[in-house]
Amino acid sequence: MFDISVGSVGSVRVLTTNNKGLSVEHWADRATSTIISVGDKSHPLISEQAEVFKGQIKEVISFYMKEAINSNKTTMIAELESKGYSEIAEIIRSL
């Protein structure tokens, strides 16, 4: 016999783009919202402070995500050039 259990996963959000990936800001917002949650029943002053802090954290996450992307791009360009694919490296450099 099989035991079947059904659970709830909550709400699901789907976001699509056209001919591009999602922005750094999108991912920074997702990361920040996962890390920091501001309760709707908190004192207004505490909520305000938490929202300001959340915005600051989002900026930090965005900055370092952009740095990581640039670093990875530099690594790809160097690897392509070392393999003799200078034209492809130049295309990636121009993006």
Q: Which domain holds residue 74?
A: 44-94
Count of structural domains, the chain: 1
> Which two tokens mark 85?
């694919």
| 17 part of a folded domain | no
d(CA 21, CA 41): 35
Arithmetic mean of pLDDT, 52-66: 97
* Tens of pLDDT, residues 10-50: 788 888 889 899 999 999 999 999 999 888 888 999 999 99
Confidence band (pLDDT; 50, 70, 90) for 1?
low
Q: At CA 73, angle to CA 16 and CA 77, rounded to 5?
A: 130
What was the pLDDT predicted at 56?
97
Q: Report how far residue 33's alpha carbon sits from residue 94's, in angstroms, rounded to the nearest whole number.
A: 32
Instruction: State pTM to two decimals.
Output: 0.76
Q: What is the pLDDT of residue 21?
A: 92
pLDDT of amino acid 2 = 67
